[in-house]
Amino acid sequence: MASSSDPWVKEYNEAVKIADDINAMISERSSMPASGPETQRHASAIRRKITILGTRLDGLQSLLSRPSGKPLLACGVKRVFS
C-alpha cells in the first residue's frame, strides 16, 4: 500500500477534502433563499471549489501517468478508490 508521504496519496486526500466541502456547501444551499446576492455568492463559491477539484483530479491523473521508480499496481488503485 502507498505510504502517506506518497505525493499521489497527499493529492488524493486533498481532493477528498475539497469534495466533502462541496457536498457540505450544496447541502447548505438548500437552506438558503431561492435567489438573492448571498445565494449567488454561495453558488459562485461552489463553482470555484468545483474548478479547484477538477484541477486536483487532473493532477492525480498526471501523477498516475508519470513514470516513477515504483509502478502503481491496478489493485492498489482499486483499494484507494474503494
- CA geometry: angle at 1 spanning 69 and 74, to 5°? 70
Q: How confident is the model at residue 74 (pLDDT cuts 50, 70, 90)?
A: low
List the domain range (segments joined by +) for residue 62: 7-81
pTM: 0.70
The CA radius of gyration of the chain, in Å to the nearest whole number, is 17
pLDDT tens, position by position, 49-60: 999 999 999 988
Is there a domain that residue 69 lies in? yes
pLDDT of residue 82: 45
Is there a domain that residue 1 lies in? no
Please tell me which residue, 2 or 24, carries the higher pLDDT value. Answer: 24
Segment holding 72, helix H or strand E: none
Is there a domain that residue 61 lies in? yes
Instruction: Report the number of distinct structural domains present in the chain.
Output: 1
Is there a domain that residue 2 lies in? no
Is there a domain that residue 41 lies in? yes
Q: How confident is the model at residue 35 (pLDDT cuts 50, 70, 90)?
A: confident
- CA geometry: angle at 57 spanning 48 and 14, to 5°? 75
